[in-house]
Structure 1
């Protein structure tokens, strides 16, 4: 596990840099455009290709790694396999992009049913521009999967840096020159993801060639495996679309508030969950291919427990400190106290399901490594169906916060369904160890949350009002909370906590 820990740590550090830039991007967008129709239009236009093209990209890249190990015994076979998948993805993406461009009006109506007038018109115009860059979304994910199969996690992790920098520049320039620089800059940012990875591809002997072999044996397997993944991702994206569609019928800025709150949650997901999932997926795929069940099970429950230990305290901390977090990060310029209030409410209810979001991704990787793409699709569809029903009910009573709450409830429900399905598929997977760690983490997190809240209240009342004082109060209470949580998990004898301490001692030679 040392190699896994090392790769995960490196990826986390890279992700921190990328996510910080992502936050700066959101801060700049919020500071310049706030929760106005400009930001609503841009966010929806950005999410249209993100929703549609992730269907192709995620579906193909998910099945890529297990099949790559089976069909790449030499550089020649590797190039043939990669080019085949890449070109199929490119063609499918081009067809979908053309359809979205031609039917942009209808697509925007589906994604934002409540938009009208200038907001609707601007969203359509943004969509027609951004959809061009979406060609690079699916194809760049194929290159990412290739590098991860080669155990190169650094370069794929770095792609977010130029992406975010380019968009930040575009946001600033759009406010000074023309609003249309915003979608044009986004297209350039999407292209940068693809170009950034190409030098590393060449180092592994990759050479591009336009070739499509639909009769290859593995293509039939790709189609068989990718279908359920495609449907599963589509169901998830439909859920996102329903959220934003319902939000578009609420008060102006509801979409932006949900987006900013979701970005905060995404920071945690990207930092911890994506890093862990990215590293363990190739490992699980190899263990599954080698029929090493004992190591496979150990990797599963260790990964689940690490996610649980990291995410539960962050979830409770985010709920306790939602308002000061949003205020410190976003409240400036056009992002006023009203924007802080509605965003903080969304953050609280998104945070409830944070552990669900994280474990759903990890367990999905477990099933995919077993070349079982059908189970996550069925279970996901059930959970998303529940989410849509809850959306329609809760939005009437809770507004945009109800949409976030419905998402959290369905994510937690999905985890229980996935655990049950995993038990049915492989039997024992460390359920007792997972339950024990979860309960200990929950107890420690609740106590941490109480102490964190009390600490913040004391610090904020003592210190004079101001940005620096606010930052000291927030980060001071977070530091105290983290220390308390760390001490509690050690006292409760959590196995994974001891593993981390022992690993640190060896490295520091204590």
Structure 2
């Protein structure tokens, strides 16, 4: 493993640790929301309204904005210095604020047709439809906030700082949790209060990153150009990049549209199941893609293709090393996990069963979801944005056909399964096309064999414990530790690196006490 790959692993531990904090807060948030909103009319309205800003959050903060911005910004820093790169970032913000403010104004004015577009099945349910329209109007401005946050994320990531952008996502969860508390204490309508909390969270995400921006010498006051060449190049990259990075989110959005024709609660079942899948995916899958992009971009720009190939292979090995046991554990513990986390208050036993079935269907695609981001980074580092976009179009069509075909017999579970099928198709096409472009880049080595074998053991052990819901969840960490330890005994380098990184995260004071 080369030095770039080792640095990626270290940075992944930073991003993953920060994201873990956010995901834990997210779970706490979802537990509260499941208890307050359940899986009925209010929940469906809130989650449909939240779907647009959530999609934009993942699409921009974890997708096209960063992928298009980072290579351009990094190249400017290398060739013209920090001040030229900073001027380009200011110019990009001016354009973002102008365009997105106009889009937001139109969306607020035309909230009725926007709601019909994303959830046409709600039109036959007047109370649900009217509530959703109101919530869409409230939360849509979050798109402006999260786009500005994504720009800050790109600046900091390009300069080698990953902690603040990863921690910033926790601000949204914190704001929604506080909003739920305010609604409960003062007897306010929870759906409306939570919608306003989304905007408060967006402001918090922006504010958290500003001290770090200043630390690296960046100021928003300074020169900018409306016709900045870097912004023009970024815009050209973003057009195909946006669609290419959006295939999973577009699947979810299309799934929401199709689910709106299913019985009430279907949208919520898919939302809660997706949240559980996003836990390992957000901690490691997105983290690896995020930290790999700057390294791959520098190597590709410098023509160091041997290092580029080995760094990409190491990123994919680390992705599969983590995602395979996560997949096995989530499938085996789907029902006890949903029951323990959400099974209270307005969340009925029927909702538990429906959500856990969707979770299994989503989890089948978890390794594919995780591998897509490093593969996209590999293409974008080579300035190839067309291939991911074409692949995304093919996979979106595959999802639409599969989802429509399965929802009649399997309901919302068919829509979740269709997401997994299309994501695996996405990975296979990207893999094959990249191999044609750069040659073999991922040998079937010991890491993959050990990961597959041990993941099956993890799944069997977890399934055996699934009859004891609380105990099975408590034993997740010991099972993960056993997986790491046995992998290290087999000489898997990823396990040894993960163990070493975990030790670095433990305070030295603790080591002294235990030594």
1:169 paired with 2:178, answer yes
Q: Quote the offset at 1:235 in angstroms.
A: 4.9
- Aligned runs of 1:81-100 on 2, under 5 Å? 81-100=88-107
Any unmatched runs of 5+ in structure 2? 506-510
User: Using the alignment, how far apart are the partners of 1:109 and 1:323 within structure 2?
Assistant: 33
Q: Quote the offset at 1:480 in angstroms.
A: 5.6
Any unmatched runs of 5+ in structure 1? 461-469
Instruction: Call closer, same or farther: CA 1:119–1:202 in 2, change over 3 Å.
Output: same
1:36 paired with 2:40, answer yes
1:400 paired with 2:412, answer yes
Contact kept? 2:18, 2:167, Cα under 8 Å: yes
User: Using the alignment, how far apart are the partners of 1:86 and 1:120 within structure 2?
Assistant: 34
- Give a deviation string over 1:181-233, Cα, whole Å, max 9, x none: 22111111112111221121122222224866343333342233222112324
User: Using the alignment, how far apart are the partners of 1:331 and 1:245 within structure 2?
Assistant: 26
Decide which of 61, 78, 86 is 2:85's aligned counterpart. Answer: 78
User: Using the alignment, how far apart are the partners of 1:299 and 1:350 within structure 2?
Assistant: 29
Counterpart for residue 448 of structure 2: 438
1:16 paired with 2:20, answer yes
- Aligned runs of 1:160-239 on 2, under 5 Å? 160-175=169-184, 176-179=187-190, 180-209=192-221, 213-233=225-245, 235-239=247-251
- Give a deviation string over 1:233-268, Cα, whole Å, max 9, x none: 455443222100111111211111110110011011
Deviates more, 1:215-224 or 1:332-341: 215-224
Counterpart for residue 482 of structure 1: 480
Instruction: Call closer, same or farther: CA 1:53–1:269 in 2, change over 3 Å.
Output: closer
1:415 paired with 2:423, answer no
SS of corresponding position for 2:160: coil
User: Using the alignment, how far apart are the partners of 1:505 and 1:15 within structure 2?
Assistant: 18
Counterpart for residue 467 of structure 1: none
- Aligned runs of 1:242-281 on 2, under 5 Å? 242-281=254-293
Q: Quote the offset at 1:443 in angstroms.
A: 2.4
Deviates more, 1:437-446 or 1:278-287: 437-446
SS of corresponding position for 2:121: coil
User: Using the alignment, how far apart are the partners of 1:18 and 1:485 within structure 2?
Assistant: 24
Contact kept? 2:342, 2:352, Cα under 8 Å: yes
Counterpart for residue 323 of structure 2: 311
Instruction: Call closer, same or farther: CA 1:75–1:112 in 2, change over 3 Å.
Output: same
Contact kept? 1:54, 1:138, Cα under 8 Å: no
Contact kept? 1:379, 1:417, Cα under 8 Å: yes
Contact kept? 2:336, 2:466, Cα under 8 Å: no
- Aligned runs of 1:138-157 on 2, under 5 Å? 138-157=147-166
Deviates more, 1:128-137 or 1:345-354: 128-137
- Aligned runs of 1:315-464 on 2, under 5 Å? 315-433=327-445, 437-457=447-467, 460=468
Contact kept? 1:448, 1:484, Cα under 8 Å: no
Counterpart for residue 508 of structure 2: none
Q: Quote the offset at 1:500 in angstroms.
A: 4.3
Q: Quote the offset at 1:384 in angstroms.
A: 1.6
Counterpart for residue 69 of structure 1: 74
User: Using the alignment, how far apart are the partners of 1:18 and 1:32 within structure 2?
Assistant: 21
Contact kept? 1:87, 1:210, Cα under 8 Å: no
1:126 paired with 2:135, answer yes
User: Using the alignment, how far apart are the partners of 2:402 and 2:85 within structure 1?
Assistant: 46
User: Using the alignment, how far apart are the partners of 1:142 and 1:33 within structure 2?
Assistant: 33
Instruction: Call closer, same or farther: CA 1:412–1:90 in 2, change over 3 Å.
Output: same
- Give a deviation string over 1:374-408, Cα, whole Å, max 9, x none: 11111121112111110000111111010110101
Decide which of 104, 108, 117 is 1:101's aligned counterpart. Answer: 108
User: Normalized against structure 1, the TM-score is what?
Assistant: 0.91
Counterpart for residue 463 of structure 1: none
Contact kept? 1:265, 1:350, Cα under 8 Å: yes
Contact kept? 1:28, 1:172, Cα under 8 Å: no
Q: Quote the offset at 1:136 in angstroms.
A: 0.6
Instruction: Call closer, same or farther: CA 1:283–1:184 in 2, change over 3 Å.
Output: same
User: Using the alignment, how far apart are the partners of 1:455 and 1:174 within structure 2?
Assistant: 38
Contact kept? 2:329, 2:459, Cα under 8 Å: yes
Q: Quote the offset at 1:432 in angstroms.
A: 3.6
Instruction: Call closer, same or farther: CA 1:208–1:486 in 2, change over 3 Å.
Output: closer
SS of corresponding position for 1:430: coil
User: Normalized against structure 2, the TM-score is what?
Assistant: 0.90
Contact kept? 2:403, 2:418, Cα under 8 Å: yes
User: Using the alignment, how far apart are the partners of 1:487 and 1:137 within structure 2?
Assistant: 39
Counterpart for residue 496 of structure 1: 494
Counterpart for residue 465 of structure 1: none
Aligned pair count? 496
Instruction: Call closer, same or farther: CA 1:345–1:505 in 2, change over 3 Å.
Output: closer
Instruction: Call closer, same or farther: CA 1:178–1:315 in 2, change over 3 Å.
Output: same
